[in-house]
Structure formats: C-alpha cells, structure tokens
C-alpha cells in the first residue's frame, strides 16, 4: 500500500478552489451542464494529481459514481476513538445521516473512499468530510455498503496496488 494522503489533500484543495472560484458563482451552478463539466474536471484532477503517478489513472473514471475500493481511508490517530456519522437509506432511497458518534479504532480500521463531501455542494464549499463505505469485518456482511462521513482531519489515504 502506498500512502497518498498528501496528493489526496492536494486534489481536495484543487477541487475546492476550482469550484469556489469558477463554478459556484455561475448563473446556474445546479444546471446539468455545469455539474457535468465540473465532474469531468474533478475526475481529471484525481487522475493527474493522485492516480496516474501510480499507473492507475483509469480508476478516476468511477469517482462519485461508485466507491473506489483501491483507495482506503484509515484513521490518523491510532488507537482510540474517532467521530463518525453513519448513513441510512430512507423509504425514498435517500441517505439520512445519523448523529455523530464515536467508534473505537485500531490499526485494522479501514474504509473504502467514495468522495470528499460538503453539506451544500452548490454554494461555497470547504469539503470538510470524507464520504466512505464501511468494509465488513469477517461475519459482518450487513455493514458492507453502509455509507459514513468522517471529518477529513481524522483521515489518511492509502492506495492499494496489485
């Protein structure tokens, strides 16, 4: 595994800066055209800044479409506890975020990366959270696809390569 925390934080800053400077102030930041254009830029930034230097640039094509299991998120401070919010799907298939709770962590605590997250994505963003999916422990397949939010300051990022 390769520690890619530095390049992931550079990617986050590039995304944040690009959206806040060039997209959030547009006449219609919610429009499909604006969203599609920005999504293409996000994937290009992930490809160039994080993944291509390790020969896995094509993984960027899945960014924000599905979990990226080759990017693992683990706690920065081990052992101890870490604040996290779990998401549950409601009857309309929307994710409802639970209250923040503390979970016990150790050096085996890992999550699959999905994206950087802000509560309101159409205005000025800071992307303070990392949206992840829980990796099931042996015999705990019920939590396989549970989404969660972790404050970015509690995260480090590792790239799994073959």
Q: For 45-65, how does the pLDDT look when each residue is reduced to its tens digit (9 = 90+)?
A: 999 999 999 999 999 999 999
Structural domains of the chain, count: 1
Closest CA to 38 of 57, 59, 15, 60: 15
Q: Is the peptide bond before 104 cis (omega within 30 degrees of 0)?
A: no
Average pLDDT over residues 100-129: 94
**Confidence band (pLDDT; 50, 70, 90) for 138?**
low
Residue with tokens 């016990």: 104
The answer, yes or no, to whether residue 112 has pLDDT greater than 80, is yes
Average pLDDT over residues 78-93: 91
DSSP bridge pairs for 86: 148
**Confidence band (pLDDT; 50, 70, 90) for 144?**
low
Q: What's the Cα-to-Cα distance from 35 to each of 4, 64, 86, 100, 126, rounded to whole Å?
A: 27, 12, 26, 29, 17
The answer, yes or no, to whether residue 7 has pLDDT greater than 70, is yes
Quote the radius of gyration of the chain (alpha carbons, Å): 16
In a 13 Å sphere around the CA of 131, the CA atoms on its Cβ side amount to: 18
Domain that holds residue 153: 2-159
> pTM higher than 0.85, yes or no?
yes
CB within 8 A of 40, min separation 6: which ones?
Answer: none
Q: 65 near 36, Cβ under 8 Å?
A: no
The answer, yes or no, to whether residue 136 has pLDDT greater than 90, is no
């Amino acid at each position: 595994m390769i520690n890619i925390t530095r390049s992931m934080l550079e990617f986050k800053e590039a995304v944040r800066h690009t959206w806040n400077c060039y997209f959030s102030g547009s006449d219609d930041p919610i429009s499909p055209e604006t969203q599609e254009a920005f999504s293409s830029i996000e994937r290009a930034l992930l490809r160039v800044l994080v993944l291509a230097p390790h020969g896995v640039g094509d993984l960027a094509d899945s960014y924000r479409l599905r979990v990226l299991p080759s990017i693992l998120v683990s706690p920065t401070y081990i052992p101890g506890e870490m604040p996290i919010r779990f998401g549950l799907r409601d009857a309309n298939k929307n994710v409802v975020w639970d209250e923040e709770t503390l979970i016990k962590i150790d050096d085996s605590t890992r999550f699959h990366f999905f994206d950087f997250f802000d509560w309101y994505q159409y205005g000025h963003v800071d992307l303070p959270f990392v949206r992840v999916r829980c990796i099931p422990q042996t015999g705990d397949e019920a939590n396989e696809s549970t989404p969660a939010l972790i404050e970015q300051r509690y995260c480090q990022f590792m790239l799994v390569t073959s």
